Amino acid sequence: MPTDARCLVETDESSTVRLTGVLDRAGAETVRGALLARIWERPGPVVVDLSGLRIDEPGVRDVLDEVRREVADWPATDLLLAPAGPPAPRPAAAPELIEAELPPVAEAAREARSLIADGCARWGLPELAEPACIAVTEMVNNVVAHAVTPMTLRLAPCGDALHVAVRDHAAGRPAYAGPAPVDSVGGRGLLLIDTVARRWGSTPLPDGKVVWCVLYAEDEAAFRN
């Protein structure tokens, strides 16, 4: 996957992405977008091979660390930066996740809730089914109301946490401005996500965005007690 910068982002069917050439400030944003898009396309651990990359400008490498931070809370995602080349390939189990393609229609939220309930039951996280359904309903409804594009729902467990993400193909990003006035109409969707999830956010991609959230069983247990 070449970019229009001097740095090339090379991919194949493996879990390794190779950066070759010279990464400078002019090409950093393009490389960042290409990496994020590839990481979303391939759930599971991804190794970024930096052995063929040269960085001459101070601070430019920060874009790679930024990508690693941005995907840390995506479902079933793990990113390793390997300056000396990737480790020898090892057989890897398929990541534990649920994924579905949903159309931008009102019924999509109901299907998303059903998948959340199935996942929480499968992974022994029944206490997260209700709060995760609240969050995913708002995430999906935002796509239906604003993005109006097909979307991908992805969820995966990580210990006692549930990671949920919805990827659409519109550029606009959700903006949370705090609690809405009591007499306002609408505007409470992001507040609901902020209430039930420990962390949430959005990551821009070259052709859309990923909106994600992370919920913890211990938070829900503390709330109920």
pLDDT of amino acid 176: 60
- Give the pLDDT confidence of 93-134 residue by residue, as tens digits: 678 999 999 999 999 999 999 999 999 999 999 999 999 999
What's the mean pLDDT in 187-194?
Answer: 80
Contact (Cβ atoms closer than 8 angstroms) between residue 12 and residue 38: no
Q: Which residues contact 48 (CB under 8 A, 6 or more apart)?
A: 16, 17, 18, 19, 35, 64, 79, 80, 81, 82
Which residues touch 7 (CB under 8 Å, ≥6 apart)? 19, 20, 21, 22, 23, 24, 27, 31, 53
- For position 188, what pLDDT does the model report? 62
Contact 102, 152 (CB under 8 A): yes
Beta bridge mates, 77: 44
The beta strands (E) that lie in 60-198 are given as 77-82, 98-102, 151-158, 161-168
The pLDDT value recorded for residue 190 is: 87
Query: pLDDT category, 83, cuts 50, 70, 90?
Result: confident
Residues in the chain: 225
- At residue 212 the predicted structure's pLDDT band, cuts being 50, 70 and 90, is very high
Report whether 169 contacts 150 (CB < 8 A).
Answer: yes
What is the pLDDT at residue 87?
A: 64
